[in-house]
Every structure is written in C-alpha cells, then in structure tokens.
Structure 1
Amino acid sequence: MYVPRHFKHDIDDSVFKFIENNGFAQLISSTNNLPEVTFVPILLNADKTKLICHVANQNPQAKIEDGQIVLVSFSGPHGYVSPSWYESAGVPTWNYQAVNVYGKVTKSRDPERLTQLVNQLTDKYERYYDAPWQPEYPDKMLRAITLLEIEITDIQAKSKLSQNRSRVDQVNVINALNKEGNTKLAEAMKKKINCN
C-alpha cells in the first residue's frame, strides 16, 4: 500500500483495535497467477499475532497452500472530500483509514477448531442482541468449510484524514462531513488531528 509520510500510522494498539472494530475484511491471495478476493469476517487472536477466518471448501482460496503469503485488507470510515470545502486551493480527494496485514497461511479442517472459530465469531456479533442466538452446527456444515490461520508477518496502516491541509481546511472538512451524515469519518478526523 502506498503510504505517504503525512498519512502513515504507527503500528500500535490503535491499529489492532481498528482490526477488531472493522473485522469484515478482504482476504487476497494469488491462484494460478490470478488474484482471488473473498470478503470474510476475521478474528484477531489474543496475542495479536494471527488472524483467523474460514472460507467455503468450494472457494478457490480453500486450496491455498500452507505457508503461502496472503494479504488481508481492512477498511474503516471513508468518504469523498470536495475542494469546495477548502479555504485554500485543492483537488477532489477521498479520506479513509485502512490497514493491510500480510501473513503466512496454515489451513485446518479440524472440527474442534472450526467449532471454536464459528462460536467465537457468533459470540462477537451476537453479544449486542437481547437474546443472542446460540450456535448449533451440524457436522456436515463444519465439513463444508476450511479454517485459515494467518500468522502476521507485516502490517501497514494508513489514515488519510486531511493531515496535509491547514487547520481551517481540516475543520471545514469535518463540518461538511458531519453535515452530510458521515459522522464516523468526521470523528476519526477529529481524533487523528486532535481537533475538538
């Protein structure tokens, strides 16, 4: 990922929090010299060294070789920025946050590990409901998926949030985004540029 110095984000706890909060990501690999992409929910393990997900056995990415390097791309709030919001000259652009994680894959079809993964995913996304759904997966459903464990080898983080603009322009962009209803991106900008 191209990351100009203005937009580089240090790899710290906030990056791992970003991964956890934006866990629906793109799993990108290469098969027969062609890119393959699957959108999947991803979990970060407790010690922040691995990503874990599953794909259907029929998915070409279920045939990834152990040890193959893959890319997992996470994105957060994003939106168009009009130059009409600036006090000084500018061009149309897009503000966004993204984290790319590279890692080595290990596959598994072990029913115990698959059960643990789908239970963890269910817990993560059901916990906010008054009556969370309790998983019960027939064996044949678990046999239809492959677990992918991705050992993290590199992380790149980018926050392109108008850091290269004047304070007046930054405030104008935040106000315009709020007016348009893109409050999550406006909030991310406020945090990044320390603007209250």
Structure 2
Amino acid sequence: MFLEELLTGRHLLVSYYYSVNVAIISSIARELSRRGFSVCIVNLEKMRFWERVEVKCEPGARVLVFDAESESEVPQDYLLVTSTMNLNLEGVKRYKIKKVQGNIYRAEGEATYYFKVNQGRVEDYELSQGDLLVDILRELGGEATLKDLVNIYSHRSGKGREKVREELGLLARLGKIEIRGGKVRLLNDYGWSEG
C-alpha cells in the first residue's frame, strides 16, 4: 500500500534514515522498471544499492530524487523526492518518516503507513492492535490520560471506545502497560515505566 501510494503523484519524504531512503528509492525504481518505465535517479552517486536497478535518464523517464538538499536539485517532472529537509515544493504529498522499532517505520502525512525494510526492500507492515496502542503511547512520551489514549486509538483504529478499553485491559494484564489514576503508562519488558 505504501509503495503504491508513492507511485501515484508527486511525493516528498522527509526522512533522516539513509538506509530507509535508499530502500524506498530502490523499491520504487524496481517497481517502475517492472511496469515498463525508464527510471532516472537524481543524486545517484550518493546511493549505495543493495541491488542494482537500471537507470536511464531519458525523455519520459520517471524521475526520483535521492537526498535533495535544496529545491534547486528537484527537476519539474519528478515523481518522488527524499530529503532530510521539508523542502518548499508545490503540489506535493508530504510524508515524514519515523522509526517505530527495529526495522519498522511509520510514514505520516495525509494518511499513515507502516512499513519495514527487509534486505533493502520496503514491505508493508500490519501493526497488531497491541502494537498500535504501544506505538501511540510511545508517540505521547510513554504516558497519556486514559481518555486521550482511548480517543486517539479509537480514531486511528475505527473501533468503539468500549472495545478500546477491553484491549487496554488485556495489555495491562499482559504487563505491557499500567493503568492507574486515569493515566496509562507504557512499561518495558521488566515491568518498569519507560517514561
């Protein structure tokens, strides 16, 4: 789903993760080549590929820009730009890449996508409901009010508040979170607060 999104229209990915940026550009280039398109990669010399892709900067090629440092590095006809900066590009969908844990990342923008990088390839990642709750708690600094967490999780998951409370109860019984005095606190593997 994430790669499919990146193949439709112009996108800017703001990311500080070099290997993730390489994997995304490589995965998009491979998919475009598989679909019969020529691919041109701007700043190719900055990339170290896990797997080579054929690059042809010719008229009609799909243009991918790796690690753009300014707007001047981005041609008019680009499809995808990765950068550590939030460049001022018009008519672009912006996604900020954040690390969730291990090799799992979250792309936040008009929608939220979870993906993992596996041997230089980007693969969609489906968070289990418990993982989503833990991820939200980490976003909130490891602690939140019960009301806020229920509202945020209900909105993101599309589940009713009562179902969310049941899942919170299960996570508390499993020792992943602590619920006390209207507050929910994320616990580490040893039962201590992460915050």
- TM-score normalised over the length of structure 1: 0.26
Normalized per residue, which structure has more strand?
Answer: 1
* TM-score (norm: length of structure 2): 0.26
Q: Which has the higher contact order (CA 8 A, sep 6+)?
A: 1
